Chain A
């Protein structure tokens, strides 16, 4: 059955309409969880507010389990679901540069749109920065295209790389996440701030 667009059960235009509706859900959940506030987002790196960690990992695990169950029920063909390719070098260096951008700018791309939607000027300026950063990457592409394309591993699953089945890996990830949630609750008490 699923994915609906890949199996041509819905038309391209319906797919785009659903993208808009899914985006509304995405923005609504992010904003109502507090992701429109840069000081709330940055809190995870100082321990006073760990909402990022809790929402992010609960979200990833919920979707991961949902896909595994959907596949089990025959509702979605996982072979047709896009698995992000792995270019090991740029996955690391890109992540490092993004991490620096996160702690300096206080947002990531999705959350900056969310902040801008409720009137945060700092989020709007961050978005301007995003456009500039993407343009710089494009303009200097020949300078770093070798780096960008280095160490291509295909689209491996992390479970395969570790020699585990998807289900066992999912279980381990859930246990790890529970440990992190426990640490997060502890950190919020230890590094609590009245005002931010």
Chain B
């Protein structure tokens, strides 16, 4: 069973260098069209601002975070470039998964840990990444990848901090992955 999965992996995934060139062309298209790169965490931020605005409008007045967001984005937070782009990501990922026969509900984890532990770690990792992406003004997509493409100093610094930290901590979390 595992062997057949491995065969699928080897045959059905794109060559990584070709994948990289295609990713670069998508990022180039984003810059050519909108004057900005790709992003992901910005769409989450739009989502959070929308939810808070809908649930507790009074909080908006008090929140420096939301005021800062509104200063940078006119109009409805959901009518933003990154929200539309991330909706596209869901469609594009689904199409690729469907063509390759990878659509399946599952919790992916190392055999050394339980599904429950994997989900707890995924939640914790998500919280940290969400928080860090706001502090760092963008995630792996918006700050690191897109920042590097336009030679932003901050983009390079954030990229090195993300990958450097993950490498430094990898030993302590190895049982979750290998």
Residues of A within 8 A of B (CB): 2-6, 10, 15-34, 36-40, 42-43, 45-46, 48, 50-51, 54-67, 70, 75-76, 78, 80-88, 90-123, 125-139, 141-142, 144-145, 147-148, 153, 155-161, 166, 169, 181, 193-196
| A–B complex contacts, Cβ < 8 Å, 24 sampled | A5-B33, A15-B81, A18-B33, A20-B85, A59-B27, A84-B137, A94-B136, A95-B132, A96-B132, A98-B132, A98-B139, A101-B126, A102-B129, A108-B162, A114-B93, A118-B96, A121-B107, A125-B119, A126-B122, A133-B131, A134-B130, A137-B65, A138-B134, A196-B177
Give A184's nearest chain B residue, CB to CB: B16
- A88–B158 alpha-carbon span in the complex (Å): 9
- A131–B123 alpha-carbon span in the complex (Å): 10
- Partner of A62 from B24, B64, B159 at Cβ < 8 Å: B24
Decide: A99 near B33, CB < 8 A? Known: A48-B178, A129-B129, A131-B130.
no
A26 touches B89 (CB 8 A): yes
Chain A nearest CB, measured from B165 CB (Å): 3
Give B42's nearest chain A residue, CB to CB: A109
B128 within 8 A of A: yes
Q: Tell me the interface secondary structure of chain B in the complex.
A: helix
Quick one: CB contact mask for B124-157 with A, threshold 8 Å, 1 for yes?
1111111111111111111111111111111111
Residues of A within 8 A of B27 (CB): 59-60, 62-63
Give A193's nearest chain B residue, CB to CB: B178
Quick one: CB contact mask for B21-51 with A, threshold 8 Å, 1 for yes?
1111111111111111110110011011101
Residues of B within 8 A of A153 (CB): 153-154
A31 touches B154 (CB 8 A): no
B157 touches A91 (CB 8 A): yes
B9 within 8 A of A: yes
B63 touches A59 (CB 8 A): no
Known: A40-B9, A134-B48. 7 other contacts (CB 8 A): A5-B34, A85-B154, A86-B157, A97-B135, A109-B129, A135-B48, A196-B177
Top 4 A-B residue pairs of the complex, sorted by shortest distance between their CB atoms = A105-B125, A129-B126, A23-B88, A133-B130
Give B24's nearest chain A residue, CB to CB: A62
